[in-house]
Structure 1
Amino acid sequence: MHCLADGLDFGPGLQVAARSSASASASRLMVPENQDNVLLIDASGHAVRLGGEAPLRTRVPGWPAGHMRLAVLDGMGGHGNGRQAAEAVATALLDVPACRTLAALSSHLDALHATLQARFRQPGDADTFRRPGTTLTLLEIAPGQAPLLYHVGDSRLYEVTADAAVPLTIDHVPATGYAMHGLLGAHEWWQQVHGEHRSQIAQAFILGNAFANPQLLDDDLRALDEATLPPFLHPLADRRALVTRPGALYLLATDGLWACEQPQPWLARWPHLLTHGTDTVDEALTCLFEACMASPPPQFYIDNMTAIAIRFTGDNTGENIDQTALPHSILTTFC
């Protein structure tokens, strides 16, 4: 397991810890390839990502002081290039300039998606079986501004308090496509996405999206927002400014951390694991990963696990941003 934030400086207003490892469920004789990746750029432009499953550290030239970027990625299948796809995105994110608006962030990342898709393209790969891809769940944090979220795939951002672990992102999976077409209501969507574990995906970075036709990929990315989502999912739009709570813990994570037949009882343990008796985000994340290894949930699948734990303590709380629903009212919509 790699502890990735060591030596990075996120300033006085932010605590950050990060871990990535092959699945705790794997036997000692068979350790799976870690196709996950992570990117951390701190307030002085020092950065870490994974390359060949090992940490790579660098300095981003010209990075503005106090600006930060945090992202998790989960490479997926295709030509056996899931790890390579996630590595390519994590590396290319070092060259994306610091962004202070959603429009700029979306423009740069959508263009990066198109560029890398062209690089990885193979003849006849217009389906999810042959084209590689990766999830990308990213926070762009400019000094004095609310964090900006850009989300593609089925990795997640959670807000964890002493009371609940609340998802703040939408999984890009077939159930979400059905909900977009009016075929699933809030409770049915919640059960299929959060009450079960399924391996199918409907959109990923490099891969493209299959929301219109599950059998055929569209090359571009489809941002899920109020124009495309049913009303019960409007507060969880893919690209938005976040309202964060001082003292809450935010977790950017790949799906290996909840990959079990019934995720909700396991997720119900997270508030205690992440907030009880843990003074720092590093302690909280260590507690979560140790629980995965020592007492995993029943039928925990073999998968890679990557997470960034974040606590906002200063100016990047976004309290001046208008939001239509708070996380706990989002949760009551479904449950």
Structure 2
Amino acid sequence: MCHPGKAGSNSVGLLMPERKLLHILRGYCCPVCAPNQYRGMAVSMRGPRAENQDNYLLVQPGGQAEWLVNEQLESRRITGWGNQWWRLLVADGMGGHRNGREVSEALVQLALEIRPVWEVSVLRQTLNHLHQQLLARFGQQHDQHSPGATLVWVDVHVSGLVMLAHVGDSRLYQWREGRQAWRQVTHDHTWQEFAWRVDAEAGSPLPQEKGLAQAMGYGSYGVLANTDGARFPAFSPQLHLELAEEMLPHARAHADVTRLSLPPGDALLLSTDGLWATPGRDVPSLPSLNELDSSASLDTLAEDALAAGGRDNTTVVLLRPYAS
């Protein structure tokens, strides 16, 4: 993630001498105005880290795409994308692991070659295939410091259909215009989350219950159940991605790959954990959608998270209607 400062969608970030102690690279604020009812924006800030291990992808109808390469803004038009879909994606290389920036960047570049699909089962297959490609590149000698990246992947059809896939602890929030409030859509992949899916009464603390339990290019670790119903913690080099129809009734709203709807006036906000993992809280302080009306306001949102004590890269991608 980069940090305070801003660059237009056709310019690159600059090192700021006055912020040398944090070695900050100016965030990228990338407005994308497509000829439809939505507007897409993104900001990525390095913060106090030595490098930005976050990445994002923003593709508008027509195929114009923006993402980061070596922490610099990159863009091109995707041939054959069509005029019906947006794609919004955030990825966060795991802290304390090797090649965090490289694995999140590789994930985004692989996503550039994937076209939107209508079926959740096909989208899950796509993620599993991308995971295998990342494993082949980064995970041949797997250990506790092997690379991995979180992911929130959202494809939005102009009809309002949303295809969502989620791995790790990056998040998706939806602005509900009717309620004038944000709601958290995704649920962080932690020990406690996986235990609760297997047993709704599971309430005893688990080791590292707040720790990340799954990442692209790494694998999954958590409480699982075998065919006899026995619960046990286990690591798997595969992803643990569930569709709603495969889950117990109490957990179906926590499906990892699913469909949503985006009614008129609603908006979507994707973020890495730098936005919300600040001291004393695990929920971001999100302003109303009316206040997120420009690239500058999105930049301010990320800066405020860092000012509140954030110690990580911070990336936010927003898709909002032109008029809320």
**TM-score, normalised by the number of residues in structure 1:** 0.76
Q: Quick check: 1:2 aligned with 2:15?
A: no
Label 1:219 to 1:72 Cα distance change in 2 as closer, same or farther (>3 A).
same
1:100 to 114, 118, 121: 118
- The answer to whether the 8 Å contact 1:46/1:57 transfers is yes
Shift of 1:231: 3.9
Q: Which residue of 2 aligns with 1:85?
A: 103
* Letter paired with 2:173: Y
How far apart, CA to CA, are the structure 2 residues paired with 1:118 and 1:293?
Answer: 35
Q: How does 1:112-261 map to 2 (within 5 A)?
A: 112-123=130-141, 125=142, 127=143, 129-144=144-159, 146-161=161-176, 163-182=180-199, 200-212=211-223, 217-226=235-244, 229=247, 231-261=249-279
State the 1:211 CA deviation: 2.3
> Contact 1:274–1:288 at 8 Å: present in 2 too?
no
Match for residue 85 of structure 2 among 63, 67, 81: 67
Asked whether the equivalents of residues 223 and 233 of structure 2 are also in contact (C-alpha less than 8 Å), the reply is no
CA RMSD of aligned residues (A): 2.9
Matched with 2:68 is 50
Alpha-carbon distance between aligned partners in 2 of 1:58 and 1:184, rounded to the nearest angstrom: 49
**1:14 counterpart residue number:** 38
Aligned to 1:280: 293
Deviation at 1:64, TM superposition (A): 1.6
Cα separation, partners in 2 of 1:171 and 1:228, compared to 1, 3 Å: farther
- Which deviations, in whole Å up to 9, do the C-alpha atoms of 1:245-294 show, x marking residues without a partner? 43233210000101123226x63x42xx2335x27253542342243355
Partners of 1:158 and 1:279 in 2: CA distance: 14
Q: Which structure shows the bigger proportion of residues in helix conformation?
A: 1
* Unpaired runs of at least 5, structure 1: 315-335
Deviation of 1:113 after TM superposition, in Å, equals: 1.1
- Specify the alignment match of 2:311 in structure 1: 302
Q: Distance in 1 between matches of 2:295 and 2:97?
A: 36
Q: Gapped runs of 5+ residues in structure 2? A: 1-25, 225-231
210-219 or 44-53: bigger deviation: 210-219
CA distance in 2, matches of 1:135, 1:163: 29
Render the CA deviation track for 1:154-173: whole Å, top value 9, x for unaligned: 10001235754321001111
Distance 1:240 1:215 in 2: 25
Give the distance between the partners of 1:238 and 1:172, measured in 2 at CA: 9
1:183: Cα distance to partner?
Answer: 6.7
Q: Distance in 2 between matches of 1:114 and 1:81?
A: 17
* Distance (Å, rounded) in 2 between the aligned partners of 1:82 and 1:215: 25
Aligned length: 288
Deviation at 1:12, TM superposition (A): 1.6
2:216 alignment partner AA: F
Distance of aligned partners of 1:164 and 1:68 in 2 relative to their CA distance in 1, 3 Å threshold: closer
Which secondary structure state, in structure 1, belongs to the residue aligned with residue 240 of structure 2?
coil
Identity of aligned residues (%): 30
